[in-house]
Structure 1
Amino acid sequence: MNVTQAMKERRSVRSFLPKAPPALEVHSLIADAAQAASGGNLQPWRVVALAGDALQELTDAIASAQPLPEGGNNYTYPPNLWEPYRTRRFKNGEDLYKTIEIPREDKAARLEQLAKNGRFFDAPVGLLVFADERMGYAQWVDLGIYLQSLMLLATERGLATCAQGYWRRYGDTVERVLKAPEPYKVAYGIALGYEDLAAPINTLRAERAPFGDWAQMRGFDGI
């Protein structure tokens, strides 16, 4: 598989098989992703991989925890989201719930699905990525580059992922359970494992906006 194929095949998977990838494969994936571009070579990422009892300890703690008040970096999306982003987000959510036949008025079922984030969607491996809270905007960009690198490598190796901003809502609990040193704060989580190809929720294919909506090419000949 080449990079172009991995880009086209990568998607957010929300149902996993119980089979766990080998520890050495998880180690290799995390390490190889660190070849990602990093301004000034700061490499601002810190990663904790969880499986087995360690994973269960965290998910049990999250199940009884209260989320942090929304604000600052705890927001998954900006408040009062504007167009065209509001429509894109709304459609993605509706398409997701349609795959599992949960209507908009069934708030309880939707909240139950949301809570599955706190179990990494029952993936056998959960990754938590931390950043020094003193870092700035540029280093958060670097974290995104690391995240994409890791997910593409996982796709190449037959693994599935789901990137989760959800974990910032429980940052205090995550940092306490995992004994994160100050001043490191959780940036995102990643569910990792093998995709359950029979799960309806994994049929979702998020659309992308047309090229002309978000890109321009200037000074080129023949276009």
Structure 2
Amino acid sequence: MTFEETNKNRRSIRDFKNTPVSDEIINQVLKEALEAPSSSNTQPFKVVVAKGDILKKIGEDLTFKYNTGQKLRKLNIFSKIYTAHKYKLNVNNVYKTIQGKYPEIFQERRVKTGFGLYKVLGIKREDKKARAASLARNFTFFDAPVGIWIFVDPKMGYTSLVDAGLFMQNLMLSATSKGLGTCAQGALNLWREPVDKHFNVPKGYELVCGLSFGYPSDHIVNSYRPEKIGLEELLVSKRK
């Protein structure tokens, strides 16, 4: 594919085939991702790649935390505190910065995208049970055979987040060019403890984002492509 074709074909995949992805292909994608620029070539990130039984166990732990968190809404304040502590439900540090509603126009775009996705899935706005089940799919990686987590060294400040974003975009475009699909998921940034159980993440590194990775299925959800803003909204006007 040309770059234009690769760029337009990349989208968030929310249903995957169970076809395994070889270590050779995963490593090739990661090597191509490493060609991304970073601030003074610092490359302040570490990557976790999980497959097979380990991925399944991480998914089970994340799903348990999600389901337990949903039940907290019905408990009194003291039960909420006790349950959150017992099951380690306090969210990851980086995730705390994006909780709640987004500011103004960004919240509008967020809601519009969510409604568009639910429309494709045939989920009505008032169907809270179906919406919760759809969200829970994040924690089983939409049946993808590979899960990837990106960690950065926070001592590099905001540049580490910029660098991680550049790395992730390279990763996603590389995967697309090889017939694979990805879904960058803020939901996989909620809790890092299930990942830490199985991987020796260097001390001090913060979890930024997770991705599901594999071969896209033919499910209709993968046809969804949210609307992008136009250049007239993107570009800043000159002073008069």
Both structures adopt the same fold (TM-score exceeding 0.5) = yes
> Amino acid of the residue matched to residue 162 of structure 2?
V
Pair 1:4-2:19 in alignment: no
* CA deviation after TM superposition for structure 1 residue 48, in Å: 1.4
Structure 1 residue 75, shift from structure 2 partner: 4.0
Query: In the TM superposition, what whole-angstrom CA distance separates every residue of 1:70-91 from its partner, at most 9, and x where no partner exists?
Result: 6852147464322321111111
Q: Could you list the runs of 4 or more consecutive aligned residues of structure 1 that deviate by over 3 angstroms after TM superposition? A: 66-72, 75-80
Label 1:39 to 1:73 Cα distance change in 2 as closer, same or farther (>3 A): same
Distance in 1 separating the partners of 2:108 and 2:228: 12
May I ask how many residue pairs the two structures share in their alignment?
218
Shift of 1:119: 1.1
In structure 1, how many angstroms separate the alpha carbons of the residues matched to 2:35 and 2:149? 18
8 Å CA contact 1:167–1:186 kept in 2: the answer is no
1:171 is displaced (CA, Å) by: 2.1
> Alpha carbon RMSD of aligned pairs, Å?
2.0
Q: Structure 1 stretches of 5 or more lacking a match? A: 219-223
- Counting only pairs closer than 5 Å after superposition, residues 103-182 of structure 1 correspond to structure 2 as 103-182=124-203
Distance in 1 between residues matched to 2:97 and 2:183, nearest whole Å: 14
User: Any gaps of 5 or more consecutive residues in structure 2?
Assistant: 70-88
Question: Per-residue deviation at 1:179?
Answer: 3.5
Q: Distance in 1 between matches of 2:57 and 2:100?
A: 32
Query: Structure 1 residue 53 and structure 2 residue 53: aligned?
Result: yes
Q: Determine helix, strand or coil for the equivalent of 2:135.
A: helix
Asked if 1:206 is matched to 2:210, the reply is no
User: Would you say 1:74 and 2:95 are equivalent positions?
Assistant: yes
Identity of aligned residues (%): 35
User: Paired residue for 2:206, among 171, 178, 185?
Assistant: 185
Written as runs of structure 1 = structure 2, the 5 A alignment for 1:89-104 is: 89-104=110-125
CA contact (8 A) 1:174 1:186 kept: no
Measure, in 1, the Cα distance between the counterparts of 2:206 and 2:59. 18
**Matched residue SS, 1:170:** coil
CA distance in 2, matches of 1:71, 1:120: 18
Q: Which has the higher helix share?
A: 2
> 1:179/1:65 Cα in 2 relative to 1: closer, same or farther (>3 Å)?
farther
SS state of the match for residue 33, structure 2? helix
Distance, in Å, in 1 between the alignment partners of 2:105 and 2:6 is 27
CA shift at 1:23, angstroms? Answer: 1.4
